[in-house]
Structure 1
Amino acid sequence: MKTPEQCSSLDDVRRGIDAMDEQIIRALGRRLAYVKAAAQFKPTEQSIAAPERVAAMLPQRQQWAREAGLDPMFAVPLFAQIIHWNIAQQVRHWRICHGLEQGAQDE
């Protein structure tokens, strides 16, 4: 994949964007695997949300965004959405592992 500076056509740029989007999606999938792995260490369904952890995570992501030259006003809501969706997935996974919910075939 060419760097943005090496692109010599719109097609080069689009290929680069597509490649980056694929990496982002794959990274989100790996992140979800970690989230599901955390379920084994949560004694109760109520312990999953961990609001103190979320409160600590968002400022750190804000700082990382600044360091990467991104607007934190974009990054923080994005990560809030990712975090909250992952919490819902962890709750579902926890319930399946504890026999409280029937899982999908991919569980």
Structure 2
Amino acid sequence: MSADGLHHPQIVAVDARVDPAACRSMVEVRQGVDALDRALVALLAERQRYMDAAARIKPDRGAVHDDARIEDVVAKVLASAEAHHLSPAIAEPVWRTLIDRSIAHEFSVYDRTRS
């Protein structure tokens, strides 16, 4: 939270990189991928902090795994993927794995903070 008492989302800056359509060498492609990977790690770390908050807030362990929420998240991701021209063959398995690992992390945090 900032000094004004409001939560301002963290903006993850992506290093300067060549647009993929303008890449002329594998060096440019790899630099772009590496820059995006750094940004993705920062975003995933922030997402993990929300899982930490969920583990702190949820009233019981049974609330950690929520099938309806999983399907809601996947549906939203697939809609966003389509809008951004990301293949659903990439988006869906990546997010299902992310959700699975996030739930495992949340269980771990939940158990550690309540024992």
Q: TM-score, normalised by structure 2?
A: 0.78
The residue identity in structure 1 corresponding to 2:31 is R
Matched pairs, number: 99
The alignment's C-alpha RMSD in Å is 1.3
Aligned residue runs from structure 1 range 1-107, under 5 A: 1-99=17-115
CA distance in 2, matches of 1:5, 1:80: 29
The residue identity in structure 1 corresponding to 2:110 is W
CA distance in 1, matches of 2:39, 2:66: 28
Is 88-97 or 45-54 further displaced after alignment? 45-54
Is 51-60 or 88-97 further displaced after alignment? 51-60
Q: What's the secondary structure of 1:43's corresponding residue? A: coil
Query: Does the 8 Å CA contact 1:45/1:94 hold for their aligned counterparts?
Result: yes
1:24-63 per-residue CA deviation (whole Å, 9 max, x = no partner) reads 1221111111111111211111111121111211111111
Contiguous gaps of at least 5 residues in structure 2: 1-16
Q: Which runs of 4+ in 1 moved over 2 A?
A: 1-10
Q: What's the secondary structure of 1:49's corresponding residue? A: coil
Percent identity of equivalent pairs: 26
> How far off its partner does 1:73 sit?
2.4
* Structure with the largest fraction of helix: 1
> How far off its partner does 1:12 sit?
1.7
> How far off its partner does 1:66 sit?
0.8
